[in-house]
Every structure is written in C-alpha cells, then in structure tokens.
Structure 1
Amino acid sequence: MAASTTQKLSLFALTAMVVGSMVGSGIFSLPRTFAGATGPFGALIAWVIAAGGMYTLARVFQFLAERKPDLDAGVYAYAKEGFGDYPGFLSAFGYWIGSCIGNVSYWVLIKSTLGAFFPVFGDGNTVVAIVVASIGIWTFHFVILRGIQQAAFINMVVTIAKIVPILAFILLLVFAFNFDLFNANFWGGEGMSEMSLFDQVRATMLVTVFVFLGIEGASVYSRYATERRHVGTATILGFVGVTALMVLVSLLPYAVLPQAEIAGMRQPSMAAVLEAVVGPWGGLFVSIGLLISVLGAYLAWSLICAEVLSIAAKTNDMPRVFGRENANKVPSAALWLTNIVVQLFIISTYWSQDAFTLMLNLTSVMSLIPFLLVAAYGVLLVQRRETYELRPQERTRDFVFATIAVIYTLWLNFAAGLEYLMLSAILYGPGTVLYFWTRREQSKQGWFDRPADWVIFILVVAGCIAGIWSLAAGYITL
C-alpha cells in the first residue's frame, strides 16, 4: 500500500491504534479469569512478571523501529531479517492467524454479553449468535474496504469512547473498596482450590498475553507515521496507560466481592462485578462499553490482519494474490481471506464447550512464536553491533531489554502448556502450504534454504500430527 500525505498517522492516532488494539475483550474478562486462578497476591506477582516482560518487549519494538526504519511490517519483518524466509513466514502466518482467532473471541464475547439480556444468544455460540456475528463480520469488511484512513479515524474515536466505562468501573470500585474483604481474599479466598503460587501465576499467563496483544500496533503501521520516532513513543504511551487500567480492573474486584463469587461469574465478568456492587444499571453500563470497546478492537485488528498478510505478499513471503489492493488502497484480497478464516472459526465455536476461553488462549499461543523471534532479533542486532555506530552507548541497555524479552517469551511458551502448543502446530502445519506456494511462484530451488529450516519444519509437522491424534483420541478437548 503506497503511503501518501493523506494517509499519514499522527502520534495521537498511532497511540490510539495501540490502545484500541490492546483494550478489547480481554480487559472485560479479567475479574473472573484472575479470581479463578489466584488471589490479589498471586495477581500482583503475575502482573509484575507480565508487565515487566511486555515492557521489555515494547522497548525492543521501540529500538528496532528507530534502528531499522526500513523494516516496515513490524513483527513479521524482523523475524525474516534475522532468521530467514521460513521462520519469517511462520512469524507472519502465526501473527496473522492468531489475530484472526482474536477477532473470533471478540464476536464470542459480544454475543455472550447480549446473552445476559437476550437468552437466545446463550454463551455466544448458539446458532442465532453465529448468524448475527456473521452479519457483523461482513458489515465491517465492507466498511474497511472503503479506505484505511477512514477506518483508522473510526478506531481513534471509538478508543476515546470506550475508555469511559472502564474508568467509571475503576472509580466506583475505589469508592466501594472494603479493606477487610480485600485482606480475606489476599492469599486466596474461601472455597477456592489449593494450588501452589507457581501454578496460580502460571494459570494467568495466557490471559496476560492476550490483553497485551496490540502493543505492536504502532510498529505494524510504522510506515504511515508522520515522524518515525512517534512509533516508539506511541508504543510506550499506550503500554503504560493500558497496563495501569488492567491491573486496577483485575485487583479492585477482590475488595468488593468474595473471590469464589467472582470466579463463578459469567463473562464479561466486569459487568457482573459492577452489577453486584451498584445494581443492574452497572451491568448494563459496562455491557454497552464492552460492545463499543470490542467493536473498536475488532476494527483495529481487522486492519492489522490485512496489513500483515498484504505486506508479506508484497515482499514475496506470501502468495502474490494477497498483495492486491482496491481503488481505495486497501489490501482487499488479504482482507477477504482474513474474514473468510474468521467466519470459519466463528462457525466452529458451535462445538466448543467454552468458546471464549479457547479462542483467547489460542490467540495468545499463536502470538508467542512471532514475539519470541522479534526479541531474538533484538539480541542478534546488538550482538552484531549493527546500526550501533550511532549512539553506541545504548547497546548495553538494548541488550538487557532484548535478553529479558527472550527469557519472558520462552517462559510463556512453557506456561502455555503442551495442549495449546499442539493446537498451534495444527494451524502452523497446513499453513506451510502457503510457503510452498510462494516459493513455486518465485521458481526457487528446493523447499528450504537452510538445514535449520528442515528441522523447524519437521518439528511443526510432528506437532501437527500429535495434535490431531490427541484431538481424535480425546486427550485434547475444545
């Protein structure tokens, strides 16, 4: 997509893109998700680990954006530059398909929210719910086809509007704060299962990844920035602001309700908490805010999905067809494939026992490999001293940030567990067909360029086979 003066995004617009991408369905599900795993003490430790790890990753995105301004597609571009074509493809595919699944989780939560008022929607995976979500998918599809600048403007407006209910939730719970109840819940409330602190923290890791997704939003749209330095600034501003909101939303409910009660609430649990504190109007107020928030996040992620797939096609890392643009300079072919995939996953939720949690965790897992490769590329850049002829004093600082980010993303892969890693392999395996298609278009010799690529491919195929077998045998349930 050729950048033009009419398509440039300001610092405010880039920051809104980060906030709009991060504040989606996840923040509204935090009270129940955390209460089902741990008390305030464990939650504090989890947030220290998650915020610390994601902060280092944000700093890696920041210094890469400044030092490698020619790499315009963010997540995918860094992986390819550092590790070659096949790892770069896996990063682009994983990030794209994970974003598609994230969009599915948005629709599930929208329908679950409506289900609290209209039983026909159930928990978000009834036939009626699937039909309504399908209408929504294609409505947004045709709005986005009208132009990137228009969609980015809508996202900025929605981002401002949806913060209001979240701030109201926080303020109301601050006024209702009960120190005795908070202390009773601090180490884990009555009626909760006994788990070690390590297991409690580990149980929250995937949801923290999910709510931090979008931290790279400004990086993905870096080539639309009016000034390159705004990319890093927008990333940090968005990160700090949203982190504060998420910590408060997850901790304050422990001061107004018993942990066991919060853990048993339906999603979106933020609405249920406020309803329990101030009455039915509170649940309605948050539900309206959720609908605005999730629709805005869906818009932002639809843009990101199409952009990543389109740029990968234009750099000959995905089939060329997905680089096609319409008269409004929107990557229309990539957008069509994105929404077809979202539609298929929406239909699949009919057979899921807990569609929202499944989609949330799977979205997080699909993002782990791309994030790991970004952090690893940061380490590689520092070790090679590449670009450090300019401001060499920053090299040690950047090395520390990148190394911690690598350790954090490796820990996340461990915390995800074997079940979700195998589910991700089920998607990565067939997705490699697109890689072979691309190489054939370019008449490249052989399937892979390096022996290491064969090792990665074998691991992906083995994981895919193991995942399919585990599903068939009932060891993994959806």
Structure 2
Amino acid sequence: MSKGKIGLLSLTALVLSSMIGSGIFSLPQNMAEVAGAEALLIGWAITGVGIIFLGLSFFFISRLKPQLDGGIYTYAREGFGDLVGFLSAWGYWLCATIGIVGYLVVAFEGIGTFTDSADYVLFGQGNTIASFIGASIIVWLVHWLIAGGVKEAASVNLVATFVKVFPLVLFIGLAIWYFSPEQFAQDWQGNGLNNNVSDQVKNTMLITLWVFTGVEGAAVLSAHAKKRSDVGVATVLGIVIALVLYVAITVLSLGVLPRETIASMSNPSMAGLLAHMMGGAGKWIITLCLIVSVLASYISWTMYSAEVPYRGAKNGAFPRILDKLNVNGTPINSLWFTGLVVQFCLVLVLLTGKSYNALLLISTSMILVPYFLIGAYLFKLSLQENAAWYIKLTGFMAALYGLWIVYAAGLDYLLLSVLLYVPGIGLFLYSRYQFKGKRFELNNGEKVLLVIIAILFVWAVYNSFNNVDWG
C-alpha cells in the first residue's frame, strides 16, 4: 500500500460521510417529537448559521495557519495551551470513539429488521451476542483496512458515500411530490407538545448538533491532504450539502404526514415515511442504506479517532507509545488503541444492554467544548493577525454558537461531560510527566483550570448521586 494523499473529492466525502451516519435516517421522528414546524425552521436557521460559521472557522484557520495539522487538538493547543488542547482532543476522541460504537450498534439493529421476529431475536437493538460478534469482526476488518493506508480507506469511504446519498435524494424527490402546504401548516406551533416555541427550539439543538458532528473531518486529516487549501473547501462543501439534505428531509416530512404521526414512528423513521409514499420497498431501501451509511461513517470516524491521539502524543498530551506511524503512514499504535477501546465498549454494551440512544447522549455531550474552542481560537488568531473584519466576525459567531449549544444542552449535559473529562486529565498528567522528564510544568492558568474542573467534578458526582433512584 502507498502513503498516498487524499484529494478534494475524497476529503469532501469524508466530511459528508462523517456527518451523514445514522442520525439522518431518524431525523424526521427526532425533530417531530420535540418541535412544530415554526420551531423546526427557527432551529435549522440557528444551526445553519452557526454551523456555517464553524465550518468557515476551519476554512480561515487553514488559510491563516496552513502549517498546523490535526484540527481539533492542534488548534486548541495553539490557541490556549497544552492542557486546553488536551481537553479538546480528549473530548473529541471520546465523542468519536463512543460515537462509532453507536454506529456498530445501530448497524446490527438495522440488520435485525431482516432477521428478527416477535418469536426470534437474533440482533435485537444491536446489543445481543450475535451483534457483538458481528460488530467485533467489523472493528478489526476496518482496522486492517486503515492500517493499509489512509488514502485507500478514504477511497472505500468515497464509494460508500455515493451509495448512502442515493436514498436521501430519492426521499426528497418523492416528498416534494407528496408535499401538502396545508398539512405542513396544520400544527405550525406544535401545540400538542405543551411547551412554547423557544423551548422547542432549544430541544432541537442537540439533535441538530449531533447530525453535524464530523464537520471537522478534513481538518483532522489535513496532514494527509494533497493540498492544504483543499481542507477548508472540503469542509464548507460538506456542510452546505449536508445542510440542504437535513432541512429538506425534515421540513418536507411535515408536509407528508401529521407531526404526531411522525413523532410516534419507530426509527429509522425515514423508512416509515418512504413506505407511506412508495409501499413496503421503501422500508427495505432505507434500512439497507442505513446499514451502508453507518458502516461508511464508522470507517471515517475510526480514521479521526486514530489521528487525534497520535497528534497529541507528539506533544506529550497522550502517552509516547501512540506516536508511531507504520510503513503506510498510518498512526498504527493509536489505531490499535482506538480499536481496543471500541472493543471494550462493545463488551459493555453487551453486558449492560445499552442502546444507540444512550451512546448518542454521551457522545454528543463530549463535543460541546471542542467546537466552542475552534471559534474562540479563530477569534483570538484574527485579532493577533489583524485579519479582515469578516474573519473576526466568523470566529466570534462560531464561538457564540458554541456557547449557545452549551446553554441549550443544559446543566446535565455539561456535568456529564465533566465526569468524562476527569479520567482524561489523569492520562494527560501521566503523559506530561513522561514527556517533560518527570515534571508536570503546569502554568498558573492550567492550575486554576484544574481546580475549577475539580470543583465541577464534585458537583457532577453530587448531582448524579442525587438523581439515582434508590427505589
């Protein structure tokens, strides 16, 4: 295999494939459950503006600092120091790793629609022994594929991305044909939800954030790009394509069936909607494409999960053993590390019976801080470089969107993320001690940040303890 570089088309496909995983196939039900048509449009408007500014942040940083590789980790470290850089890397790595476990779970839940019945359950919700065996096989097949070269893995992902986009275009075309303006306006304010429009908008935020995670894919793999200038372009192209697909699917769905009907559908809800429009074949088409989609996303997210610890290890944020490339230019020890953690999480899923939704909840909470730091770094960098006003505006708006997401997510998500950040800090201190010759060398700002995190951790533990139902 070669150490070939990734071109613009494959980079864009990686960004698009990362964002379009399983979430889009359940999006009509997810949104209809929490928002009426008015709140849905407002939610997408906020998300659309915010996510475009976030994507443009990657674009402008790649222009202002083309020498920086690694995206999420490197940008945060460059802007705010080693500890903050590590926290961004750890949060992102956990989001990616837990997220890809979720992809495997939902893939085998999808396969179960073809094999399971009321009397015979083989794959269930992706948490049975058969699902565990199948998912484990995929983990190590993908490990072998990526170990053979990042470019080769990206080429496989490119083909799969075309496959996954086909049913989405089919769905949108049929939904336009069946769309009824009267049906769309029937429950304009979501009166049956018993909350106001602003609360409905807040409730859409984590859903819309989840379906856009992966926007940073090209930046994370920037070291493997043929041209550094392609990184920003691929990011913006991927966002625009995904945004058009997401808005079209959710808005058009409310013009096909009543919101209450869509909200009560089982997921993937696109299957039920397509079955309504074209008969039983619709469910088969969506389910098959869901399986292809999440497995393609698994490939791209595994590549990101392996890249981030490797970049961190080069600066002492992760253990030194992860700083190794194989002959194909793949960060092989980091890839092994990610694979083993995914395998361990699959064991936990098998033992605890956790479903995809529980994994999605944990994964999404971990991406809040890394996304905020991207906008904050561009804003800081634009001031330092005295960049054009529109670059400063982009950084400010992206950071503001990051803060809005943290607010919309609520206290429980923030405290959950703190619980998951603390084990990573232990890893950082060990790696730092190893890298700095048995010294930590923390500056005063980092010491203050550790104290704040410790206080939040105690609060998070207390909050979790009080929320336990002791029955």
Common fold by TM > 0.5? yes
Q: What is aligned with 2:426?
A: 433
Residues 1:57 and 2:50 aligned together: no
Is contact 1:428–1:464 with CA below 8 Å preserved after alignment? no
Residues 1:184 and 2:177 aligned together: no
Deviation at 1:290, TM superposition (A): 1.0
| CA deviation map 1:426-446 (0-9, x unaligned) | 211011122112112123575
Counterpart of 1:85 in structure 2: which amino acid? D
Counterpart of 2:158 in structure 1: which amino acid? M
Is contact 1:207–1:360 with CA below 8 Å preserved after alignment? no
Q: What is aligned with 1:129?
A: 131
Deviation at 1:229, TM superposition (A): 1.7
Q: Using the alignment, how far apart are the partners of 2:62 and 2:303 within structure 1?
A: 20
Q: Using the alignment, how far apart are the partners of 2:412 and 2:79 within structure 1?
A: 29
Gaps of 5+ in 1: none
Change (3 A) 1:89 1:207: same
Change (3 A) 1:476 1:159: farther
Counterpart of 2:197 in structure 1: which amino acid? L
Q: What is aligned with 1:220?
A: 220
Counterpart of 1:360 in structure 2: which amino acid? L
Correspondence list, 1:376-415, <5 A: 376-384=376-384, 386=385, 388=386, 392=387, 395-415=388-408
Deviation at 1:158, TM superposition (A): 0.9
Return 10-19 or 34-43, whichever deviates more.
10-19
SS state at 1:185 partner: coil
Correspondence list, 1:241-256, <5 A: 241-256=241-256
Percent pairwise identity: 37
Q: What is aligned with 2:261?
A: 261
Deviation at 1:367, TM superposition (A): 1.1
SS state at 1:195 partner: coil
Return 426-435 or 225-234, whichever deviates more.
225-234
Q: Using the alignment, how far apart are the partners of 1:466 and 1:155 within structure 2?
A: 42
SS state at 2:186 partner: helix
Deviation at 1:7, TM superposition (A): 1.6
Residues 1:71 and 2:68 aligned together: yes
User: Pairwise CA RMSD of aligned residues?
Assistant: 2.1
Residues 1:416 and 2:418 aligned together: no
Change (3 A) 1:476 1:273: farther
SS state at 1:33 partner: helix
* TM score, norm. by length of structure 2: 0.93
| CA deviation map 1:127-175 (0-9, x unaligned) | 4333322222222222222221210110111111211011111111111
SS state at 1:7 partner: coil
Q: What is aligned with 2:442?
A: 449
Deviation at 1:266, TM superposition (A): 1.7
Q: Using the alignment, how far apart are the partners of 1:317 and 1:111 within structure 2?
A: 35
Q: What is aligned with 2:369?
A: 369
Q: Equivalent of 1:155, from 150, 157, 179?
A: 157
Q: Using the alignment, how far apart are the partners of 1:140 and 1:444 within structure 2?
A: 36
Q: What is aligned with 1:345?
A: 345
Is contact 2:379–2:395 with CA below 8 Å preserved after alignment? yes
Q: What is aligned with 1:278?
A: 278
Q: What is aligned with 1:332?
A: 332
Counterpart of 2:401 in structure 1: which amino acid? Y
Q: What is aligned with 1:15?
A: 12
Counterpart of 2:421 in structure 1: which amino acid? Y
Is contact 1:32–1:262 with CA below 8 Å preserved after alignment? yes
Residues 1:467 and 2:467 aligned together: no
Is contact 2:92–2:367 with CA below 8 Å preserved after alignment? yes
* TM score, norm. by length of structure 1: 0.92
Deviation at 1:265, TM superposition (A): 1.6
Change (3 A) 1:227 1:326: closer
Deviation at 1:61, TM superposition (A): 0.7
Deviation at 1:352, TM superposition (A): 6.4
Is contact 2:31–2:250 with CA below 8 Å preserved after alignment? yes
SS state at 2:366 partner: helix
Counterpart of 2:410 in structure 1: which amino acid? G
Deviation at 1:235, TM superposition (A): 1.1
Q: How many pairs does the alignment contain?
A: 465
Deviation at 1:448, TM superposition (A): 5.0
Is contact 2:35–2:193 with CA below 8 Å preserved after alignment? no
Counterpart of 1:423 in structure 2: which amino acid? L
Correspondence list, 1:303-314, <5 A: 303-314=303-314
Q: Using the alignment, how far apart are the partners of 2:352 and 2:51 within structure 1?
A: 30
Is contact 1:112–1:268 with CA below 8 Å preserved after alignment? no
Is contact 2:147–2:332 with CA below 8 Å preserved after alignment? yes
Return 127-136 or 424-433, whichever deviates more.
127-136
Deviation at 1:474, TM superposition (A): 3.8
Counterpart of 1:100 in structure 2: which amino acid? T
Residues 1:293 and 2:293 aligned together: yes
Is contact 1:207–1:361 with CA below 8 Å preserved after alignment? no
Q: Using the alignment, how far apart are the partners of 1:476 and 1:113 within structure 2?
A: 32
Q: Using the alignment, how far apart are the partners of 1:250 and 1:260 within structure 2?
A: 14
Deviation at 1:295, TM superposition (A): 0.7
Q: What is aligned with 1:46?
A: 43
Q: Using the alignment, how far apart are the partners of 1:238 and 1:292 within structure 2?
A: 19
Counterpart of 1:432 in structure 2: which amino acid? I
Is contact 1:470–1:476 with CA below 8 Å preserved after alignment? no
